[in-house]
Amino acid sequence: MIWHQVLTNKNELAENRVMTVTAGHKDLCLTHWKGEWTAMENRCPHQGGPLGEGSIENGLLRCPWHGWDFCPHGGSSDDFDDGLETYPLKVEGDAVYVGLEEEPSHKPTVTDVMAETMVNWGVDRVFGMVGHSNLGLADAFRRQEEKGKLKFIGIRHEGAASFAASAYGKLTGKPAACFAIAGPGSTNMFTGLWDAKVDRAPILALTGQVATQVVGTGNFQEVDLVRAFQTVTEFNQRVEHQSNHAELMSLAIKHAILRRDVSHLTFPDQVQVLEADGAEAQTPEGRITPLTIAPPEESINLAIERIKSAQRPVIIVGHGARFHMNEIIGFAEKLNCPVMTTFKGKGLISDHHRLGCGVLGRSGTPVASYFMNEADLLLVIGASFSNHTGITPKKPIIQIDFDPLAIAKFHKIDVAVYGEISRTISLINNSNEDLTFSKVNQEIEISERWAIWRNEKLKRLSEERGNGVSSIAVFEALTRLAPENAVMCVDVGNNAYSFGRYFESKNHSFLMSGYLGSIGFALPASMGAWAAVGDSRPIVVVAGDGGLCQYLAEFTTLVKYKMPVKVIVLNNNELGKITKEQRAGGWDKWATDLVNPDFAAYAVSCGGVGLKVSKKEELETAFMQLFAAQGPALLEVQADVKLI
C-alpha cells in the first residue's frame, strides 16, 4: 500500500462538499459528509461522468452529467447494482491521505514503439496540442522527452504547429512532426501541410482519432482523416490493431524524406494504448539509399558545351539549391559570372559577395534583372519558373535539378540535367574542358550596378509623407543592424515585397511561404527555426499587421519556451497589398482596413519586451534595443502604407 497525500489541509474541502483529487496517476472523488471523509472511484458507471465535479444533494452524491445519485460514502446507487469502489483513507493532523496499491511498471505500448522509431529516424521535434483523442501517443512522446530524445513544443493553434514544422523542414531538409487531436485539431493543420507540400519540405503529421468502434456513427469530432488528408499527403495511413507499427512509422518518415512531402498517420484512440507484445523500434540503418546520384553523361556533355560557348552566363539559384551553395559559388567564381536568386532563395549568396546580384523578380533588385537581360546563357539551379521570379524563356537555359518534374516545368529549355546538385556541379567544374575561355569578367559591372541601385535607394529613403515610416527606412536600418547570421522569417504582403527588394543579405537564412503564399506564416515559422537552431543563431520575424494577427497568440509560446525571437511588425492598419491589387484592377478600396491592438503593449502583457516607433529617426535606437533584449521581443513600426 502506498499512501498519497491528496490534501495538505483538510479544511480545503468543506462539509457536504466533493472534489476531485489525484493520487499517483489516479483521479479520485473525495467527499466530506456527516463528518466523514471518503475516497472513491471518480467515474460514474453510466458514462464516466467526473463525480468529483458533482454535488451532494439531499444526502446523495449527484453525477454532474446525468444526475445519477450515489451514497457519498460509496456503496450502492438506490436499487442498482453499480456502487462505487472506495479506497483506504486516513487523516493525519490537517493532511488527508489515500492508500493505493503500488502501481505496476509501465508496459510498452505500440505508440511507445512508434515514438522510439520516430526519434531513431531523427524526427525529434514535435509541435502540437495534447487533447482527449491523442493522449496515448502524447504519453509516448512524454517518455521520449524524459529520456532527452525528443523536444515537444505545445502551441496555441494547430495551424501554427504545421507551419512551424514546415519551416523546420525548409531550414534543415529534415522532417519535424505536427500533432493534433481528431476532428478540428487535425483540420486546423491543413494549410501548413499544403505549405510544406508545395515548397517541397518534408513533414510528418500525426493525428488522434475517435475509437474505431464509433467510426461512421457521426460521433463527436469524427472526421475521416485519411480521406480528408488524401489530397495533401504522399503517405497517408490509419494505424490499426494488427499494423506492423514500427514499419509503418519508418515508411511514413522515409516517404517524407525521399519525396520531400507530407506523411500522415492517424491513431484511433484505443490503438494508442495497446501493449507492444515485445515489438521493437526500428532504425534507418540499411533502410535508405545515398542520394548523390550523377546525371546522365550526355546531359553533362551538353551542358559543358553550352557553358564553353557562352560569353555572359549567369547563375540563377532557387530554394532547392540551399544545401549546395559551396559548390555553386565556387563554380561561379571560376567563371566570374553573376549569381542571383529567386525570392525563396534569398540569401543563398550574400548581397555583399563580389558576384551576388540579389533577388530576381517582383520582390527583387534591378541588379538581378539587368544581368539576366544581358546574359547569353541562364544556368538555373534548384529553381522552377514561377511568374513571381520571371526567369525569361527567351534566353538559352541549362537547368539542373534533383526533381525531374521541376525541370522544364512551364516551358521548353535547352539542356535538362537531372541529378543531385552538388554532384552535378562538381562533375561540370572538374571536367577537362576550359570553361573560362572567352568569358566576360562581369565582376566590375556587378559592382557598378549595385552602386546605381544603392544610390536609388538613398533617394527613396528621403521620401516622407508624415503618415508613418517608409518600408525602405525600416529595411535600410535592418540591413545595418540585424545580426549577420540571423534566420529571417518573412510573412506575406507588401512587407515581404519591400523586404525582398531593400534588405541586403549577409550570412542570413530566409524562411517564407513560397508557392502557397500563406499569410500568417512568419511567427509560427520562427518557432520551427528555433527548434532547428536553438540559441546558436538569432531569429527575426518580419510581418505586417494582417499576417501577425493570424497567429498572434503564439507570442505566448515564444515566452513559454524562452525563444529569443525578435518580431518586427509593420503596422499600417490595412491589408495594404490587397488595397493595391484592388486599385490596380480598377476596383474600389473595400474591406481592407484593420483595427489592431497595441502590439508593443500586447508583447509586454505576454511577458516579453515591447517597443514602438512612429518616426524614421527612432528606428536605429529601437532596433538596437530590440536585438539587445533578452528573450522574446517585439518592435511595432507605425508604417506608411503607400511608401513601400
Nearest Cα to 536, choosing from 479, 483, 608?
A: 483
pLDDT at 80 over 60: no
Dist. CA 501–CA 453, nearest whole Å: 10
pLDDT at residue 467, as a whole number: 87
How many Cβ atoms from other residues are within 10 Å of residue 13's Cβ? 18
Indicate if the pLDDT at residue 76 is higher than 80: no
CA neighbours closer than 13 Å in the CB half-sphere of residue 263 = 25
The per-residue b/e assignment along 334-356, b for 16 or more CB within 10 angstroms, e otherwise, is ebbbbbbbbbbbbbbbbbeeebb
Helix (H) or strand (E) holding 256: helix 245-259
pLDDT at 79 over 80: no
pLDDT score, position 77: 56
Q: How does pLDDT run across 291-315, given as a tens digit for each residue?
A: 999 999 999 999 999 999 999 999 9
Which residue from 398, 284, 365, 378 is spatially nearest to 338, judged by alpha carbons? Answer: 378
Q: What is the mean pLDDT of the chain?
A: 94
DSSP per residue, 218-229: T-TT---HHHHT
Instruction: Report the run of H or E that residue 528 belongs to, with start and end.
Output: helix 522-533
Do 527 and 548 touch, CB atoms closer than 8 A? no
Q: What is the pLDDT of residue 82?
A: 59
CB 366 within 8 A of CB 300: no
**Percent of the chain whose predicted confidence (pLDDT) is above 90:** 85
Give 461-470 pLDDT, tens digit per residue: 988 888 899 9
* Cα–Cα nearest to 318, from 443, 411, 406, 192: 406
In 3D space, the residue among 526, 487, 529 whose CA is nearest the CA of residue 508 turns out to be 487
Residue 177's identity, in one-letter code, is A
Contact by Cβ (8 Å): 342, 380: no
Cell of 516: 502557397
Can you tell me the distance from the alpha carbon of 556 to that of 583, in angstroms, rounded to the nearest whole number? 37
pLDDT score of 330: 95
User: Considering only 68-82, 157-171, 259-273, 541-555, which range has the smallest mean pLDDT?
Assistant: 68-82
Taking CB atoms within 8 Å and a gap of at least 24, the contacts of 427-432 are 427/294, 427/295, 427/300, 428/300, 428/303, 428/304, 428/307, 428/331, 429/327, 429/330, 429/331, 429/334, 431/300, 431/304
**Chain centroid, CA 52 distance in Å:** 39
pLDDT average, residue stretch 553-564: 98
Determine what percent of the chain is predicted with pLDDT higher than 70. 99
Per-residue pLDDT tens over the stretch 347-383: 999 999 999 999 999 889 999 999 999 999 999 999 9
pLDDT at 75: 66
Domains of the chain: 2-100 (2.102.10.10), 110-273 (3.40.50.970), 297-444 (3.40.50.1220), 463-638 (3.40.50.970)
| Among 195-204, 214-223, 281-290, 440-449, the least confident range | 214-223
Q: How far apart (Å, rounded) are the C-alpha atoms in residues 435 and 337? A: 12
Count of C-beta atoms within a 10 Å radius of residue 503: 25
SS3 148: coil
Q: 3-state SS string over 536-605?
A: CCCEEEEEEHHHHHHCHHHHHHHHHCCCCEEEEEEECCECHHHHHHHHHCCCCCCCCECCCCCHHHHHHH
Average of pLDDT values for 335-340?
95
Q: What angle do CA 200, 204, 206 make, to 5 degrees?
A: 150
CA separation for the pair 385, 380 (Å, rounded): 9
Q: What is the mean pLDDT of residues 3-32?
A: 95
Q: How far apart are CA 111 and CA 408, in angstroms?
A: 43
Place of cell 501577425: 548
DSSP assignment letter at 130:
-
Residue among 476, 489, 471 at smallest CA distance from 638:
471
User: Nearest CA to 357 among 386, 378, 327, 382?
Assistant: 378
Range 200-229 burial, b when 16+ CB lie within 10 A, else e: bbbbbbbbbbbeeeeeeeeeebbbebbebb
Higher pLDDT, 155 or 582: 155
Residue 493 pLDDT more than 80?
Answer: yes
The answer on pLDDT for 637 being more than 70 is yes
Distance CA 229, CA 212 (A): 18
Instruction: Give the strand pairing for 262-268 and 203-209.
Output: parallel
At 335, which helix (H) or strand (E)?
helix 325-335
pLDDT digits (tens, 9 = 90+) for 572-600: 999 888 889 899 999 999 999 999 999 99
Q: Please tell me the total number of residues recorded for the chain in this structure.
A: 644
Query: What is the reported pLDDT for 30?
Result: 96
C-alpha 374, offset from chain centre: 39
Helix (H) or strand (E) holding 181: none
Amino acid at 365: T
Tell me which H or E stretch contains 145. helix 135-146
